[in-house]
A = this chain, B = another copy of it.
Amino acid sequence: MPKANFITIGHLSKRTGVAVSALRFYEEKGLLHPLRTGGNQRRFLKSDIRRVSFILIAQKLGLGLAEIEEHLAQLPEGRNPTLTDWQKISRAMREQIDEKIRLLNRTRNQLDQCIGCGCLSLAKCQLYNKDDQLGLKGPGPRAVLD
């Protein structure tokens, strides 16, 4: 059997295009769980390439690392994830995209109304009083959001 099931962090970096420092950061955040050699160097599974790929895609979709970790937690620890495993969480992500698209569409319609009436006024405008979030993350104007 091929003993080279393990790859170094540099290798993983090259295969995914993600900086070594970022990979270490992902480990720190619990998104990756490499083994260690006797000399304390990380050894990743080949399937971690796919795992990192997933992280990148999910980030493109606007998910935060914490959310991504939750998705990844669905994957089996230890054994290599199967096609079915990946399909399951991909499907869950599709739902999230759909939700985002719905929200954007709703917001666009409301903006259309605002263009019409020129309101942009706090009291009346639907854009304020309804529908939060929209993938908004980080601090932001708390008084409005909380």
Among A1-9, A33-41, A66-74, A135-143, the stretch that binds chain B is A135-143
The answer on a CB contact under 8 Å between B49 and A122 is: yes
In the complex, what residues of B have CB within 8 A of residue A107's CB?
60-61, 97
Q: Mark A107-146, 1 if CB is under 8 A from B, else 0.
A: 1100110110010111001011000001110001111100
In the complex, what residues of B have CB within 8 A of residue A90's CB?
111, 114-115, 120
Q: Which chain B residue shows the least CB distance to A104?
A: B101
Assembled-state Cα–Cα distance A90/B107 (Å): 12
Assembled-state Cα–Cα distance A22/B140 (Å): 9
Q: A111-B94, A141-B56 are in contact. Are A17 and B122 (CB under 8 A)?
A: yes
The answer on a CB contact under 8 Å between B94 and A105 is: no
The answer on a CB contact under 8 Å between B19 and A134 is: no
Q: Chain A: how many interface residues by the 8 Å CB criterion?
A: 51
Does chain B have a CB within 8 A of A98? yes
Q: A56-B128, A115-B87 are in contact. Are A17 and B101 (CB under 8 A)?
A: no
Assembled-state Cα–Cα distance A120/B49 (Å): 9
The answer on a CB contact under 8 Å between A16 and B115 is: no
Of B56, B136, B141, which one neighbours A17 at CB under 8 angstroms?
B141
Nearest CB of chain B from residue A7's CB, rounded to whole Å: 14
Does chain B have a CB within 8 A of A62? yes
